[in-house]
Amino acid sequence: MSSIIEVKNLSKKYTIGDRQGYVALRDVMMNIIKSPLSWFGNKVKLAVTHNKYNEFWALKNVSFSVEKGEVLGIIGRNGAGKSTLLKILSQITPPTGGEVRLGGRVGSLLEVGTGFHPELTGRENIYLNGAILGMKKKEIKAKFNEIVKFAEIEKFLDTPVKRYSSGMYVRLAFAVAAHLEPEVLIIDEVLAVGDADFQRKCLGKMSDITKKDGRTVLFVSHNLDAVERLCSRTMLINDGEVVSIGETKEIIALYKSKVSSLTVKEMILPPRDNTIVVFEKISMNTDDAVDVSDGFEIGQKIRIKLEFNIKESAKDIEISFKLRNSHEVDIMFSSLSDSCGFKFYEFQPGKYSAEIEIPNNFLMPGLYHIDLFATRPGFAGIDAQKDVICFRVFSRNTIKEINYGMGCVVSNATWSVTPLGRKTS
Amino acid sequence: MEIIIRPKNKWWQLNWREIWFFRDLFYFLSWRDIKVKYKQTIIGALWAVFQPFTTMVVFTIFFGKFAKMPSDGVPYPIFVYAGLVFWTLFSSSLSHVSNTFMENERIITKVYFPRIILPASSIITNVVDCLIASLILFGMMIYYHFDISILGLTIFPVLITMTVFSTLGIGLFFSALNVKYRDVRFVLPFFIQILLFVTPVIYPVSIVSEKYRWILGLNPMSGVIETARVVILGVGQVNWQLLSMSVASMAVYCILGYLYFKKVERYFADVI
């Protein structure tokens, strides 16, 4: 059997700082005018030495192949390189090294509703979105009724989508995408949308696509149940490298045991050579002498202890962390200078330990991830480590189901009601 | 069909087969822009006319009446309007094209298609605007008793095409530059404004001494506007030297703009 996707030694390098902030032409020109020699010197230096401080390999020597009609699952932690891989395969970004051979047209679904225009009606958006995803007008026309039926929006077909509820919007977007028919379909985490009912329907449609139509699919998801249901083979990626490829069941077991222990109390971070700030260890605890091995109770304060090593003395280093929930929503971002009167902490070379306290009754029950950043002014990154630790918050002792899981943080709002006169009848 | 992805594909080549495959996308993107613009039909059409028409009135009062700008014997309003029809197409599509990748950032980072489709399709709305605005030109020609000649009507689309390609060439360069350097969009309006004064819109080419006229030809719009006045209004002689100079500079801008665009195109999703 011939493989339809052939990936050989694929690598992708990003320069940290590329996406943070932007380069102004004005600054570049000013630098040239002010000191043309040093500007030129820097250019040469960059070309000769490579600035390793800011390099980050999102993918390292990834090789695999996919047979025609196969459904390959791709799992791994956030920041493991899954999305980068999909972006290269769908030609959105070029690789730094290696080669990919694709034996057919690729349709990629990295997001639902790409290119939807709020002013246009549902009908118009079906055509527009279909075309953006690579469908021909003829194909869209042929599938039109099916799409509308699947999305359950018959009545609102001629209403601008800006008036749609978010549920309707997502249903329509998925419906269009689900009717794509390329030889290779690439899907990234799109099932994490809509209500539970619609998610089930999407999953059903997905298994129709894969099983009945016999199409080749690459499927990236954090939803391990979905991966298990849809994929015969699965690939586990970690830190930009393929850890293992094989039977889905085995790989998921491997993933659960190795990479994604749900709540980690302490993590020794992989050493990095070329940064001024080296994050070494992160650990979590709370006030009470309660065992936190399986997570934190909602009423507990969460203490994060961070150990890092400063290699050079610098007066403008900022250490920050970001807290994300399992839906990839940023819940909070906090920096060291926030607590130092918005001034930088003056670091001397040596080891440091920082303790961060997250207040109790703040985070909703759920799973959280932490990203760490060491930056210098202008958001020039020294180091960014995504997903260094994750932990769970639960509400075992809380009587009330906290607002049915609405919102991202626990509501501490106070209400007071004043009657404004009684209706007399 | 086999696709091979490598770090360096032959970047300067335009994959015509692929573009042909995505022709429906070109159609739908142009259609989206037109649809959104003319959603309120009357306002949309009025706006297309309003801009060049008001400019014409203001220019006529200040440059025609007060400054007594020469206009090669043609009534100043129609002289300036003939220039403005093409100038408006050029300037509005240039700023439109230059911002097209920023406006479609979401699509670029999530879906693949030949990127050149975006700037190309974003010009279409402006062409529609221009066609609507040119109705006024023909109205004015009737009012001022000019003959609408067959030659004028045949040359008109040729000149529109020239304007479109000039815009595309310069616009491709700016659009790609805009992705990398975000302050370009602040510089661009200023650049366009300056360009208006070095283009013979307000004044005729004849006020520039014959020896230096060819310099105007470095600006492709000079040839377009000058030729438009001669052929459509039917007065004077075509300045072949200026026209060929403009065609040549248009070709050069197209090639340079295209090369720069192609060189950075693949990295858009990483930088934007």
Q: Can you list the positions of beta strands (E) in A286-415?
A: 296-297, 302-310, 318-325, 330-335, 350-358, 366-376, 380-394
* B181–A23 CB contact, under 8 Å: yes
**Could you tell me if A182 lies within 8 Å of chain B, comparing CB atoms?**
no
Rounded CA-CA distance A413/A404 in Å is: 16
From A19, A101, A119, residue closest to B39, measured CB to CB: A119
Closest Cα partner for B132 from B49, B32, B209, B193? B49
Q: According to the model, what pLDDT value does residue A260 have?
A: 46
Domain containing B256: what range? 19-271
Assess if residue B9 is contained within a domain.
no
pLDDT at residue A230, rounded to an integer = 83
What is the C-alpha separation between A139 and A318, in angstroms, rounded?
53
- Concatenating the DSSP letter of every residue in B221-247 gives HHHHHHHHHHHHHT-S---HHHHHHHH
Number of domains in chain B: 1
Q: What average pLDDT does this structure show over B13-42?
A: 85
- What lies within 8 Å, CB to CB, of A100 at 6+ separation is A5, A6, A7, A8, A10, A88, A89, B3, B4, B5, B6
Nearest to A74 by CA among A210, A251, A201, A211: A251
* B-interface mutation test, from A19, A62, A91, most B Cβ less than 10 A away: A91
Two structure tokens written together for B127:
């062409």
A-chain CB neighbours of B187 within 8 Å are 25
Interval B62-111: pLDDT, tens: 998 898 888 888 899 999 999 999 999 999 999 999 999 988 888 888 88
- The H-or-E segment that residue A7 falls in is strand A3-15
* Statement: residue B210 has pLDDT above 90: no
Note the pLDDT tens digit of each residue in B103-151. Answer: 888 888 888 888 999 999 999 999 999 999 999 999 999 999 888 888 8
HSE (CB half, 13 Å, CA atoms) of B119?
28
Residues with Cβ within 8 Å of B128's Cβ and at least 6 positions away in sequence, in order, are B34, B48
**What is the C-alpha to C-alpha distance for residues A39 and A42, in angstroms, rounded to an integer?**
5
pLDDT value for A294? 62
In a domain, B194, yes or no: yes
Query: Given this model, what pLDDT does residue A191 score?
Result: 58
Please tell me which residue, A401 or B233, carries the higher pLDDT value: B233
Residues A341 and B258: their CA atoms lie apart, in Å, by 50
In a domain, B83, yes or no: yes
Minimum distance, in Å, between the CA of residue B67 and any CA atom of chain A: 37
B39 CA: distance to closest CA in chain A (Å): 9
| A195 CB-near residues (< 8 Å, 6+ apart) | A167
pLDDT of the residue at A190:
61
* Helix extents (H) in chain B: 16-21, 23-37, 41-59, 76-98, 100-103, 105-110, 117-143, 150-180, 184-197, 213-216, 220-233, 240-265, 268-271
- The whole-number pLDDT of residue A194 equals 58
Rounded to whole angstroms, the Cα distance separating B180 from B149 reads: 47
Q: Is residue B185 part of a domain?
A: yes
pLDDT tens over chain A, length 425 residues: 478 899 999 999 887 544 444 567 777 777 777 777 776 676 666 655 555 556 778 899 999 999 888 889 998 876 688 888 998 998 888 899 899 998 888 888 777 777 888 888 999 999 999 998 888 899 999 999 999 998 888 899 999 988 888 778 888 888 888 888 888 888 886 655 556 677 777 778 777 777 777 788 898 887 777 788 888 899 998 888 898 899 998 888 888 776 544 455 677 777 666 678 888 888 887 766 555 556 787 778 888 889 998 888 878 888 889 998 877 778 899 988 888 777 888 888 889 999 888 888 888 877 788 888 888 776 566 778 877 888 878 776 554 444 545 677 887 788 889 888 877 65
Q: A214: burial class by Cβ within 10 Å (0-12, 13-18, 19+)?
A: exposed
- Name the burial class of residue B251, with classes exposed (0-12), middle (13-18) and buried (19+) by CB atoms within 10 angstroms of its CB: middle
Q: Do B7 and A98 touch (CB under 8 A)?
A: yes
In the numeric block, which tokens belong to residue A178? Answer: 């689900």
Which of A358, A361, A297 has its CA nearest to residue A333?
A358
Average pLDDT over residues B152-180: 93
Say if the Cβ atoms of B270 and A18 lie within 8 Å: yes
A263 closest CA partner among A339, A369, A184, A353: A369
Whether B6 is in a domain gets the answer no
Query: Chain A contact for B190, CB < 8 A?
Result: no
Query: Is residue B42, in this structure, part of any structural domain at all?
Result: yes
pLDDT for residue A262? 46
What residues contact B83, with CB distance under 8 A and at least 6 apart?
B199, B200, B201, B202, B225, B228, B229
CA distance A110 to chain B (A): 6
Contacts of A97 in chain B (CB under 8 A): 7
CA distance A27 to A106: 40
First to last CA, chain A: 83
Q: Which residue has the higher pLDDT, A79 or B259?
A: B259
Q: What's residue B131's pLDDT? A: 93
**What H or E segment, with its residue span, contains residue A224?**
helix A224-230
Closest CA to B178 of B235, B87, B260, B117: B260
Please tell me the predicted confidence (pLDDT) of residue B250: 95
Size of chain A, expressed as the number of residues it contains: 425
Give the 3-state secondary structure percentages of chain A, helix then strand then coil, rounded to 5: 30, 35, 35
User: Is there a contact between B159 and B224 (Cβ–Cβ < 8 Å)?
Assistant: yes
Q: Are strands A366-376 and A302-310 parallel, antiparallel or unpaired?
A: unpaired
Domain annotation covers residue B195: yes
| Cβ–Cβ below 8 Å for B111 and A94 | no
Separation between Cα atoms, residue A396 and residue A379, nearest integer Å: 40
- Give yes or no for A89 touching B (CB within 8 A): yes
Closest to A82 in 3D by CA, of A260, A217, A177, A222: A222
Residue B1 lies in a domain: no
Candidate from B7, B32, B182 with C-beta closest to A97 = B7
Q: Which residues of A touch B115 (CB under 8 A)?
A: none
Burial of A344 (0-12, 13-18, 19+ CB in 10 A): middle
Strand order in the sheet with A366-376: A296-297, A380-394, A366-376, A318-325, A330-335
Tell me the per-residue pLDDT of B7-16, one tens digit each, with 9 for 90 and over: 876 677 778 8
